[in-house]
Amino acid sequence: MKFTKLSMAAVMGIFILSAAGLAFATDDPGTVKAEIASDKENIQAERAEMKENATEAKTEEKAIQEQIKTARESGDAEKAGELKEQLIETHKSNVAEKREDKQALHAAKKELRQDKKAAKKAYCGSR
C-alpha cells in the first residue's frame, strides 16, 4: 500500500513536470493559469492524503496499544512483547510514510512556486 502511494506520487510528479514544460513552451496565459490551478489542486490533494494517512496511522497504533494492554491484563507477557515489537515497527513505518508525504507536499509547493515565477516572467516579458 505504501509503495503504491509512493509510485503514484512519482507518476504524478513526472506528469506535472511534463505538463509544465508543455504549458510554458506555448506561453499562453490561459494555459499557465490552468497549470497553476492544477498545482494548487495537487497541493490540496496531498494535504488531504496526509491527513488521511495520519488518521489511519493513529488508529492502527492505538489498536495495537489496546491489544498490548489486553495481553498484559491477561498475563501474557510474551504476546505483549511481540505486540510491542509490532508497534515499534508500525510506528517506524508510519513515520517514514509521513516523511515521504511531506517530501511530496514540498515538491508540489516548489512546482507551484516555479510555475508562478514562470507565469510572472512570461506576463512581464509579453508587455
What is the count of structural domains for the chain?
1
- Residue 89: how many CB atoms within 10 A of its CB? 11
Rounded alpha-carbon distances, angstroms, from residue 97 to 56, 80, 109:
11, 25, 18
* Domain interval for residue 93: 2-125
Cell of 91: 510506528
The pTM of the whole model exceeds 0.95: no
Residue by residue, pLDDT tens for the chain (127 residues) are 555 665 566 656 666 655 555 444 455 667 778 888 888 898 898 899 999 999 999 999 999 999 999 999 999 999 999 999 999 999 999 999 999 999 989 998 998 898 888 888 877 865 5
